[in-house]
Homo-oligomer: A and B are copies of this chain.
Amino acid sequence: MKFLEATYRVTGSNFRERIESVLLEQTIETPVSVAEQHPFVRENMMGRVEQVVQDGAESYLATLSLPVLTAFSDPAQLLNVLFGNSSLHADVMLEDFNLPQTVTDLLPGPRFGISGLREAAGVHGRPLTCSAIKPVGLRIDEMAEICRAFGEAGVDLIKDDHYLANQSFATFHDRVRACQAVVEDVAERTGRRPIYVPNLSGTPDVVRRQAEWAQEAGVRAVMMAPMLLGMPLLHELRMKVLDIPILAHPSFGGSVRIKTATLLGKIFRLYGADAVIFANYGGRFSYPPEVCRDIAGNLRAEWLGLNKVFPVPAGGMDADRAEELVHFFGNDTILLVGGSLLEAGPALRDKSERFVESVHAAAEGNIGV
């Protein structure tokens, strides 16, 4: 297959011309007359408008064929061909895309996905629970204490807040050492095996060393924010560095002009995330339930034979909503509740325990999505 398909939403009355200009922008980026001087370019690089469907007042969905020879040359180029320069047009949005199966030669997607992460956590048949160590500014011993409360309460994944980096007052190494020791101690004493998930942050070189060091130290999953650190780095970590699952954080991902379910549900998956955190409906963010359902749907859809990925609804989730969310998202879900537990202060462990129990209870006989 020489072409992939990308669908753009183009708004405005001048849509025919705009769609032609998107096609040029995402392919030869020269006047057509320039490209036509070269037979190889003409045959392989020019793409085509496949379909235009009106789906609202002055709103059109245009499906374009775009050249695989350019797009599949490296992980950055695929993004470039999908939505490089056209991302700069305020009236164009990347709506969706379809790739030929050969993309998996370049991007084999998540190494672990749902089944691998379940294996790592030793949890089957119910959603995983997750909470976060925060706020930034805590001392190492305070972080370890929170980690212990979550671990003893039976929380499956205990992740760093995404503001935890390598701050002078609480370094990456000290934090990871302390929290990893806690989860290992909890495992020894309870038989459960909570996973501590440190946040990786910095330039690619630094992140790579953090990842290697953490893995060496026994850490069983990590978190990173692909839009902040670079989507190609996610892929590189998955391919060359890590042999443990990767939790992807949506920070800095706020381009309104890639449809959320496409960015978080398809692109993050394709680049290798095993679990994807997103802002859930009814929390601090304003995504409607359908968007959340679509993200989860994309992450768990049959697609190119890629491993399926855990949706991680989050963002101001109240622990009391566990039952509702388990029913909405089903059992192949990680429920991330942070602030709502941490508010409990000294009752952190108790409140975490109730959260864990409510998830376990809701999961029994859950039919889910």
Contacts of A37 in B (CB 8 A): 345
Taking a contact as CB atoms closer than 8 A, the residue among B40, B86, B167 that contacts A139 in the complex is B40
Taking a contact as CB atoms closer than 8 A, the residue among B31, B70, B239 that contacts A343 in the complex is B31
Q: Which of A70, A88, A162 has the most C-beta atoms of chain B within 10 angstroms of its own C-beta?
A: A88
Distance in Å from the Cβ of A319 to the closest Cβ of chain B?
A: 13
Q: Which of A31, A205, A228, A229 has the most C-beta atoms of chain B within 10 angstroms of its own C-beta?
A: A228
Tell me whether A235 and B30 are in contact in the complex, defined as CB-CB below 8 angstroms, given that A135-B35, A228-B79 are known contacts: no
Contacts of A136 in B (CB 8 A): 28, 41, 45, 67, 70
Contacts of A74 in B (CB 8 A): 165-166, 201-203, 206
- Cβ-based interface call for A21 (8 A): yes
- Cβ-based interface call for A212 (8 A): no
Contacts of A67 in B (CB 8 A): 136-137
Instruction: Say yes or no: A233 contacts B204, CB within 8 Å.
Output: yes
Q: Which of A30, A40, A70, A89 has the most C-beta atoms of chain B within 10 angstroms of its own C-beta?
A: A30
- Please measure, in the bound complex, the distance between the C-alpha atom of A76 and the C-alpha atom of B228, giving whole angstroms: 6
What are 25 A-B contacts with C-beta separation under 8 Å?
A25-B284, A27-B135, A28-B136, A29-B163, A30-B343, A41-B136, A41-B138, A69-B137, A69-B168, A69-B169, A73-B166, A73-B168, A73-B201, A74-B165, A80-B162, A80-B225, A80-B252, A84-B228, A88-B250, A88-B285, A89-B286, A90-B286, A203-B235, A205-B240, A228-B231
* Additional A-B contact list (10), CB under 8 Å, known A81-B163, A85-B251, A85-B315: A28-B135, A34-B134, A40-B137, A75-B202, A80-B228, A90-B256, A202-B232, A228-B230, A254-B255, A255-B255
